[in-house]
Amino acid sequence: MAVFTAVSLDDLTHWIEQFPLGKAIAIKGIASGIENSNFFITTERGEFVLTIFENLTFEQLPFYLQLMRHLAERGVLVPAPVANAQGELVVPLHGKPAAIVSKLDGTSQMQPQPLHCAAVGAMVAQMHLAARDFPLSQPNLRGLDWWTETTPKVLPFLSSDNAALLRAEMAFQHAFATGEAYARLARGPVHADLFRNNVMFDGDRLTGFFDFYFAGCDTWLFDLAVTVNDWCIVPETGVLDAARVRAMLDAYHAVRPFTADEAASWHAMLRAAALRFWLSRLYDFYLPREAEMLTPHDPSHFERILRERIATPAPGLFA
Ligand SMILES: Nc1ncnc2c1ncn2[C@@H]1O[C@H](COP(=O)(O)OP(=O)(O)OP(=O)(O)O)[C@@H](O)[C@H]1O
Ligand SMILES: N[C@@H](CCO)C(=O)O
């Protein structure tokens, strides 16, 4: 995370009294990430992560925090939110919504092998199944409606080639999302941002998924396409790596079998997932917010992936 809102140890000392975490000992801003302000905090009870939400509202946040709690209770490895003395998971800090969650062990695996992709694929399927009875509902706020709103905002900044690509892909995705196969796809709460930097591994052992703040109700296949587009590619070219794709898809399929409609939708969904991140990166690049520390993401990476997905047939979803 970048730090958009500064929090001192003094600020934390008073604020944390409402949580059953003992006294605050240290706070450290986390520089990676682009959406919220994140801090590692140390208290008498151990290490936690404090997030101040820069864009999400008090109304939207229960969905994410309750979802994490729901998944954790069902054996999906995710950070557990910490409630204050009133049982609240989201509490104002410097006038913005904030939450504390447990800190996961391990580090991100940025050079995944097929065994890491298999572990992620199986856990994604478990997460989809475990969320089926989650009672709250919220749309994917970075779904088709947001793409439609954002496209005219970024178009003026694009080369004519890229503007043509964006317009054409938006037309293709509108047609796909209103088609019959799409309507039949399984859906429910999904993570929707499960990049390598949002998963922890301790050696080869998966220790958890985190950063659920783009989660929402969408198709399960979209979630998997987002995940494949980050975990199973050659980073320089965006080309899919057959062994890693196979490992992830087969592990998912073994837990939650794919359907024929999903197989027919897979290629279009890989394109949708590439478009989603091309657009958000363009938006953040050309229309940035102020931040004390900021690590912008490169939009051209997802432009390359989108062009590559359009040009190349998708690997089969299952045999
Ligand atoms: N529960 C957690 N346990 C351990 N580390 C965490 C946890 N939550 C966040 N972090 C650390 O903080 C960093 C930034 O967090 P996060 O990915 O949520 O930020 P972000 O701004 O939402 O990032 P992104 O760009 O992926 O949206 C992570 O890379 C990770 O190192
Ligand atoms: N995962 C996103 C950042 C928002 O979480 C990206 O790489 O563009």
- In tens, the pLDDT along 81-90 reads 999 999 999 9
Ligand approaching nearest to the C-alpha of 33: 1
**Ligand 2 center from residue 193 Cα (angstroms):** 7
- Provide the CA 64 distance to its chain's centre, in angstroms: 11
pLDDT digits (tens, 9 = 90+) for 126-156: 999 999 999 999 999 999 999 999 999 999 9
- Substitution candidate for ligand 2 out of 51, 193, 281 with most atoms within 8 A of CB: 193
How is residue 126 written in tokens?
A: 């478990």
Q: At residue 315, does pLDDT exceed 60?
A: yes
275-298 mean pLDDT:
81
Mean pLDDT, the chain, whole residue set? 95
Degrees, nearest 5: CA angle 140-316-298: 50
Show the domains of the chain with their CATH numbers.
9-102 (3.30.200.20), 114-311 (3.90.1200.10)
**Ligand 1 center from residue 255 Cα (angstroms):** 27
Ligand approaching nearest to the C-alpha of 28: 1
State the pLDDT confidence band at 160, using cuts at 50, 70 and 90: very high
**Ligand 1 center from residue 51 Cα (angstroms):** 9
State the pLDDT confidence band at 293, using cuts at 50, 70 and 90: very low
What integer pLDDT is reported at residue 101 of this predicted model?
96
What integer pLDDT is reported at residue 216 of this predicted model?
97
223-246 mean pLDDT:
98
State the pLDDT confidence band at 296, using cuts at 50, 70 and 90: confident
- Substitution candidate for ligand 1 out of 3, 42, 48, 49 with most atoms within 8 A of CB: 49
What integer pLDDT is reported at residue 36 of this predicted model?
87
200-218 mean pLDDT:
96
What integer pLDDT is reported at residue 1 of this predicted model?
46
Q: Cα–Cα distance between 228 and 117 in angstroms, integer?
A: 9
β partners of residue 26: 42
- pTM for this prediction: 0.93
Q: Which residues line ligand 1 (CB under 6 A)?
A: 1, 30, 32-36, 38, 49, 79, 101, 103-104, 197-198, 210-211, 213
- H or E, element range at 18: none
65-80 mean pLDDT:
96
Q: At residue 243, does pLDDT exceed 80?
A: yes
What integer pLDDT is reported at residue 31 of this predicted model?
81
- Substitution candidate for ligand 2 out of 1, 30, 32, 34 with most atoms within 8 A of CB: 34
What integer pLDDT is reported at residue 265 of this predicted model?
98
Q: At residue 290, does pLDDT exceed 90?
A: no
pLDDT digits (tens, 9 = 90+) for 7-51: 999 999 999 999 999 999 999 999 876 678 999 999 999 999 999
- H or E, element range at 123: helix 114-130
What integer pLDDT is reported at residue 56 of this predicted model?
86
What integer pLDDT is reported at residue 294 of this predicted model?
59
Q: Cα–Cα distance between 12 and 22 in angstroms, integer?
A: 12
Q: Which residue in 53, 52, 3, 4 sits closest to 28, CA to CA?
A: 3
